[in-house]
Structure formats: structure tokens, C-alpha cells
Amino acid sequence: MNRLLLLEDDPNLAKTLIKYLKFNHYEVDWAKDGEEAIELSYQNEYLLYLFDINVPLLNGIDLLQSLREAEDFTPTIIISAMVDVASVTKGFMAGADDYLKKPFDPEELLVRIKVKTASLKDRIEVGEYTLDLHTKEIYRQGERLFLGNVQKNLLIALMKHYPNPVSYDELMLLLDKPNENALRVNIAKLKKTLNLEIKSIRGVGYKLL
């Protein structure tokens, strides 16, 4: 689950962040006011919250405090132009895990998201397959798979990027002797051995279906 909830009333900033985060394999739900954000938080499960403070109806700090009182401890990054000591203190007292000053580079936000969520994820599930991110072992319906190193690493890459494609360049790095024929052969073997649906995305790479 790579789903984030963004509370931001500036449509230009919101659209920029959504585009950037989606490119980096995150799904983003966008709330334009605090009431919409609290409804979405009840309806869905999120990896992380990104909350602005000055938004309509219910500000980000009051929203976060309400969520924490309801025992919702989803990691939260406050993104705000308000960086005075009082505002920052209120954010952390309400339960924020991090505080990022506007304007900011989206790449810095991405780094902070990864740091705050790294310890939360210990596995990835795609259909009947499970990848243990600590041991790098892959299981099918609870049974460990034994694959050659190249095919195992290809499958790990495909699972980590699911449902997005993995680029040809990235997959090539996983081969003993990188070339297009070797990549096609190994992908074909994966599909046949495990009965996987792997689609070639022309000009991009491969993805799991």
C-alpha cells in the first residue's frame, strides 16, 4: 500500500505534488479542506498523511489532533508556510512526525516520506505472491519460491514497482550479461515457470498485471 492523503487548498501545488508522487509510485488522494480530509481518512487506509495548516473548514493541526485522539497514528508530515516557533510547536504537539517549510523541493518531500515510512513496510503482496523486504525472499501462497538469482531479482523489481512498469535500463542492471535478448528470455522464463502475467510496455519496460 503506497497510498497517501494530501490536504492542500492550493490547486497548483497539489497537482504538482500529485504528479510527482505518482511518478514515484505513490497513489494520492487529494482533499481541498479539512472536512474532506477527515472523511477520506475514515474511508481509506493510508501509508502517510501530508497536511497543510491553513485550509478551509478544519485546519490541518486541529484535524491531526482529532485523528490522534481517535487513535489514528498514521505518520504525518505538516507542509506549511507557517514556520514560526508557535506554529511548529503546535504541529508537533498535535502529533506531527515531521514539518516541512513551504516552498520546498518535491524531491525533499519524497526523501522525508521514504524516511518516515521505511520501518512500516516489511512486505509487498501482489496477488498470491508475497515479497519479504527484509529477507528478500518470495512466497507463493505461503510457500517459499526457489529461483535463480537473475529471475528472482527481476521478480523483486517487478513486485516493488507494481502496478507500475520497471524500465528496461533498471531491469538490464539485474542481468549477468545485459542485452535485450537475455532480458526477453528471462522474462519469458518467469512467465512460464510461475504462470505470471507480465506485460511489455513499448518504449518503457515491463510490468506485472
Domain range annotation of the chain = 3-117, 123-208
Q: Stretch 93-100: mean pLDDT, rounded? A: 83
User: Is the pLDDT confidence value at 1 over 60?
Assistant: no
Using CA atoms, how far apart are residues 177 and 169, in angstroms rounded to an integer? 13
pLDDT score of 118: 67
CATH tag for 123-208 (out of 1.10.630.10, 3.40.630.30, 3.30.420.10, 1.10.10.10)? 1.10.10.10
Could you tell me which CATH class the domain 3-117 is placed in? alpha beta
pTM for the complete prediction?
Answer: 0.56
User: Higher-confidence residue: 170 or 116?
Assistant: 170
Reported as half-sphere exposure (CB side, CA atoms, 13 A), residue 40 has a value of 21
Candidates 151, 185, 180; CA nearest to 168 is 180
Cα distances from 52 to residues 33, 106, 161, in angstroms, run: 9, 15, 28
